[in-house]
């Protein structure tokens, strides 16, 4: 017999008649009723279960929402706190709203305000750059203007010393010469420093002989060294390659600064300039250059500062030795361009060692291959030169110098006169000033080159800018001499083009 639902069982017991249970049709009916009871129970269970599930989910969602609200409230609090902390220096308005939209508005206003401030900063930066350019230009123009009369002072001093001065004048003339030479060094230092600061100093890459450079610098400092009763010598490693690629002018400047300092700060002592090969490959050499002196030395706490511009180890130094304190600053910057640095070891009273390394490319050949090995015995007798120059001092100086070498000099006061003279007269060489009234040297050269391509033209320039060479070559000149010109270098240049 079938197991009936307990409720149906109870009702059957209460109302059922035994005989009914014998009736087939009734039993089928009761089975169907029983199925309905059971189905109802299952449905109820299911719906109860379903309800309990959504209850759990609901509380879970509720919990998450609460968390989120907490986080949001906390964020708004934080946001407000942060805004308040930046408010003082930005001028944000006072606010105490929890409304995120309001905070967003405030932030937007602040962003626009900052964008404005940024624009102003950019304008200020541009102004500062302009001022810095103006400073650089001013210094270049000033030093150019100073170099021009200085050219005359140095030149006249040179001529007066050469033209048999009275014995009582010799000392005065020497003072004049030393002072004007020093002034030129100072102006050149300021120009160089300026150029390096403006990032305008480019290293030249040409073959040069380091050995010759070092020996030349030692010879150039020997007189001063002797005057201070010092012994100076160069110690050069045999392995140093004959020719390497570099900027002889700048490397020479570094060495000369260090050697002349060593001489200046040493009395009755020794100065050794050593060149050692640290490593050598087929293509490059790493060289250590060291300048060792047994002079006054430098206090430990001053070693850092002496490399700063216009700084000296002590104020008494200027009084005693002169100088500007620019030499080492320039030295350091030039070496930095070579990815190197200057190092120093020093002890007060014992002396100093300044040293650095250079990695240079090696090239085939030797010093004799370079055209620097010229002698001063060439005869310039009766050569005919056209001097194009407008400054009276320079005319007088250059004419005396040239006539001293038996050269016949003709003067043109500006470019236009020079062009006329070139049409009518054959000259062996032209010395061409660049800045002149009426017609400048570049224009005059271009005009001359329209009908004369043979006569060498050498520019005379007081400007030491790095692109001067490029400019004079482009205009059709062969070379240039920087004023104030050193008579020996000037002679060598003339000889090169007149020989
Ligand atoms: P300047 O020589 O014009 O003063 P430098 O920049 O070349 O400028 O040198 C800065 C300072 O460093 C010098 O004034 C000096 O105090 C110190 N100094 C440089 N070289 C030496 C040296 N060989 N011995 C002692 N002191 C030195």
Which runs of consecutive H residues, i.e. helices, occur in 239-283? 248-264
Three-state secondary structure of 215-247: HHHHHHHHHHHHHCCCEEEEEECCCCCCEEEEC
Residue 302 covered by a domain: yes
Q: Give Cβ neighbours of residue 211 (< 8 Å, ≥ 6 apart).
A: 236, 240, 242, 275, 367
Return d(Cα 247, Cα 207) in angstroms, integer.
8
Does residue 167 share a domain with residue 254? no
Residue 108 covered by a domain: yes
Name the domain count of the chain.
5
Report which protein residue has its CA nearest ligand 1's atom 19.
261
- For the chain, give the percent of residues with pLDDT over 90: 35
Instruction: Name the token pair of 15.
Output: 């109302």
pLDDT of 389 reads 92
Q: Which of 253, 263, 295, 312 to mutate to test the pocket of ligand 1 (most atoms within 8 A of CB)?
A: 312
Q: For the chain, percent helix, then strand, then coil, each to nearest 5?
A: 60, 15, 25
- Return the ligand 1 atom nearest residue 326 CA: 6
Q: Is the CB of 260 under 6 A from ligand 1?
A: no
Taking the centre of ligand 1 as the mean of its atom positions, its distance from the CA of residue 81, in whole angstroms, is 56
The residue to which tokens 């059922």 are assigned: 16
Range with top average pLDDT, 227-241, 385-399, 484-498:
227-241
The set of long-range contacts for 181-186, using a CB threshold of 8 Å and a minimum separation of 24, is 181/154, 182/322, 183/146, 183/150, 184/147, 184/150, 184/154, 184/484, 186/324, 186/326
Taking the centre of ligand 1 as the mean of its atom positions, its distance from the CA of residue 191, in whole angstroms, is 19
- Residue 312 three-state SS: coil
pLDDT in tens, 308-324: 887 777 666 655 666 67
Report which protein residue has its CA nearest ligand 1's atom 3.
323
Does residue 331 share a domain with residue 264? yes
Taking the centre of ligand 1 as the mean of its atom positions, its distance from the CA of residue 485, in whole angstroms, is 27
Q: What is the largest CA-CA distance in the chain?
A: 170
pLDDT of 322 reads 62
Q: Is the CB of 190 under 6 A from ligand 1?
A: no
Does residue 431 share a domain with residue 403? yes
Does residue 227 share a domain with residue 177? no
Residue 112 covered by a domain: yes
Return d(Cα 166, Cα 172) in angstroms, integer.
11
Does residue 402 share a domain with residue 367? no
Taking the centre of ligand 1 as the mean of its atom positions, its distance from the CA of residue 327, in whole angstroms, is 8
Taking the centre of ligand 1 as the mean of its atom positions, its distance from the CA of residue 355, in whole angstroms, is 14
C-beta separation of 322 from 251 below 8 A: no
Return d(Cα 165, Cα 177) in angstroms, integer.
14
Positive or negative, the Cα torsion across 442, 444, 445, 450? Answer: positive
**Is the per-residue pLDDT at 22 higher than 50?**
yes
Residue 202 covered by a domain: no
pLDDT of 95 reads 64
Mean pLDDT of 434-439: 88
- Indicate the residue among 197, 218, 237 that finishes a domain: 197
Does residue 164 share a domain with residue 114? no
**Is the per-residue pLDDT at 198 higher than 80?**
no
pLDDT of 59 reads 86
Taking the centre of ligand 1 as the mean of its atom positions, its distance from the CA of residue 235, in whole angstroms, is 23
Residue 457 covered by a domain: yes
Q: Is the CB of 291 under 6 A from ligand 1?
A: no
Nearest to 183 by CA among 488, 484, 487, 491: 484
Does residue 246 share a domain with residue 363? yes
Q: How far apart are the first and last CA of the chain?
A: 143
Report which protein residue has its CA nearest ligand 1's atom 9.
325
Residue 378 covered by a domain: no
What DSSP character marks residue 276?
E
Does residue 314 share a domain with residue 280? yes
C-beta separation of 342 from 221 below 8 A: no
Domain containing residue 178: CATH number: 1.10.287.130
Q: Give Cβ neighbours of residue 494 (< 8 Å, ≥ 6 apart).
A: 380, 385, 405, 407, 429, 458
- Indicate the residue among 371, 396, 424 that finishes a domain: 371
29-52 as b/e: b if 16+ CB within 10 A? ebeeebeebeeeeeeeeeeeeeee
Residue 377 covered by a domain: no
- Return the ligand 1 atom nearest residue 297 CA: 25
**Is the per-residue pLDDT at 151 higher than 50?**
yes
Does residue 416 share a domain with residue 397? yes
pLDDT of 373 reads 47
Domain containing residue 434: CATH number: 3.40.50.2300
Q: Which of 259, 313, 350 to mutate to test the pocket of ligand 1 (most atoms within 8 A of CB)?
A: 313
Q: Is the CB of 396 under 6 A from ligand 1?
A: no
Taking the centre of ligand 1 as the mean of its atom positions, its distance from the CA of residue 206, in whole angstroms, is 30
Q: Give me the domain span that covers residue 189.
A: 131-197
Return d(Cα 160, Cα 175) in angstroms, integer.
12
Does residue 61 share a domain with residue 48? no
Angle at 370 between CA 365 and CA 371, to 5 degrees: 155
Report which protein residue has its CA nearest ligand 1's atom 20.
261
**Is the per-residue pLDDT at 89 higher than 60?**
no
Looking at the DSSP bridge assignments, the partners of residue 292 are 272, 353
Does residue 401 share a domain with residue 318? no
What DSSP character marks residue 405?
T
pLDDT in tens, 395-420: 888 888 888 888 899 999 999 999 99
Does residue 364 share a domain with residue 227? yes
- Residue 454 three-state SS: coil
Residue 119 covered by a domain: yes
Instruction: Name the token pair of 381.
Output: 């007798």
Q: Give Cβ neighbours of residue 466 (< 8 Å, ≥ 6 apart).
A: 195, 200, 201, 202
C-beta separation of 262 from 217 below 8 A: no
Instruction: Name the token pair of 32.
Output: 């169907």
Q: Is the CB of 487 under 6 A from ligand 1?
A: no
Instruction: Name the token pair of 4.
Output: 């009936």
Q: Is the CB of 290 under 6 A from ligand 1?
A: no
pLDDT in tens, 66-84: 998 888 888 888 877 777 7
Residue bearing the bigger pLDDT, 209 or 49? 209
C-beta separation of 290 from 342 below 8 A: no
**Is the per-residue pLDDT at 281 higher than 80?**
yes
Mean pLDDT value across the chain: 85
pLDDT band of 446, cuts 50, 70, 90: very high
Q: Is the CB of 306 under 6 A from ligand 1?
A: yes
What kind and span of H or E run contains 406? none
pLDDT of 405 reads 84
Q: Is the CB of 325 under 6 A from ligand 1?
A: yes
- Indicate the residue among 123, 142, 165 that finishes a domain: 123
**Is the per-residue pLDDT at 293 higher than 80?**
yes
Return d(Cα 382, Cα 368) in angstroms, integer.
30
237: left (phi over 0), alpha (psi -120 to 50) or beta: beta
C-beta separation of 287 from 275 below 8 A: yes
The region of weakest confidence among 14-23, 131-140, 183-192, 458-467 is 458-467
**Entry pTM:** 0.60
**Is the per-residue pLDDT at 87 higher than 70?**
no
Residue bearing the bigger pLDDT, 93 or 426? 426
pLDDT band of 213, cuts 50, 70, 90: very high
C-beta separation of 313 from 298 below 8 A: yes
Taking the centre of ligand 1 as the mean of its atom positions, its distance from the CA of residue 165, in whole angstroms, is 35
Q: Is the CB of 252 under 6 A from ligand 1?
A: no
């Amino acid at each position: 017999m079938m197991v009936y639902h307990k409720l149906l069982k109870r009702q059957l017991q209460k109302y059922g008649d035994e005989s009914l249970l014998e009736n087939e049709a009734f039993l089928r009916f009761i089975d169907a009723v029983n199925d309905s009871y059971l189905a109802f129970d299952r449905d109820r269970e299911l719906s109860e279960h379903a309800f309990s599930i959504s209850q759990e989910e609901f509380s879970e969602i509720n919990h998450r929402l609460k968390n989120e609200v907490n986080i949001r409230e906390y964020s708004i609090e934080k946001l407000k706190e942060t805004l308040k902390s930046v408010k003082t220096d930005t001028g944000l308005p006072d606010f105490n709203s929890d409304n995120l939209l309001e905070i967003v508005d405030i932030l937007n206003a602040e962003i626009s305000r900052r964008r404005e401030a940024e624009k102003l900063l950019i304008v200020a930066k541009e102004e500062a750059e302009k001022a810095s350019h103006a400073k650089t230009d001013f210094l270049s123009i000033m030093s150019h203007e100073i170099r021009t009369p200085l050219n005359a002072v140095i030149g006249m001093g040179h001529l007066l010393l050469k033209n048999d001065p009275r014995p009582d004048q010799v000392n005065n003339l020497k003072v004049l010469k030393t002072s004007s030479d020093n002034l030129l060094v100072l102006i050149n230092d300021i120009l160089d420093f300026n150029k390096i600061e403006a990032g305008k100093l480019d290293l030249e890459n040409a073959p040069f002989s380091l050995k010759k450079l070092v020996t030349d610098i030692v010879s150039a400092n020997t007189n001063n060294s002797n005057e201070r009763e010092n012994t100076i010598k160069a110690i050069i490693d045999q392995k140093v390659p004959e020719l390497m690629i570099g900027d002889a002018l700048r490397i020479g400047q570094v060495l000369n600064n260090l050697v002349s300092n060593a001489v200046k700060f040493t009395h009755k002592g020794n100065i050794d300039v050593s060149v050692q090969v640290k490593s050598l490959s087929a293509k490059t050499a790493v060289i250590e250059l060291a300048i060792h002196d047994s002079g006054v030395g430098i206090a430990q706490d001053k070693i850092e500062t002496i490399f700063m511009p216009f700084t000296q180890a002590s104020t008494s130094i200027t009084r005693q030795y002169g100088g500007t304190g620019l030499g080492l600053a320039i030295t350091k910057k030039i070496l930095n361009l070579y990815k190197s640095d200057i190092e120093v070891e020093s002890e007060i009273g014992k002396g100093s060692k300044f040293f650095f390394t250079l990695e240079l490319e090696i090239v085939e050949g030797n010093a004799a291959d370079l055209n620097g090995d010229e002698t001063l015995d060439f005869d310039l007798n009766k050569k005919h030169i056209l001097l194009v120059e407008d400054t009276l001092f320079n005319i007088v100086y250059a004419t005396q110098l040239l006539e001293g070498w038996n050269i016949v000099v003709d003067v043109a006061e500006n470019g236009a006169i020079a062009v006329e003279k070139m049409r009518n007269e054959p000259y062996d060489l032209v010395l061409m000033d660049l800045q002149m009234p009426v017609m400048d040297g570049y224009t005059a050269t271009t005009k001359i080159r329209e009908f004369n391509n043979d006569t060498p033209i050498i520019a005379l320039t007081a400007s030491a800018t790095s692109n001067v060479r490029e400019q004079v070559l482009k205009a059709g000149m062969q070379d240039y001499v920087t004023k104030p010109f050193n008579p020996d270098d000037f002679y060598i240049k003339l000889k090169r083009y007149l020989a």
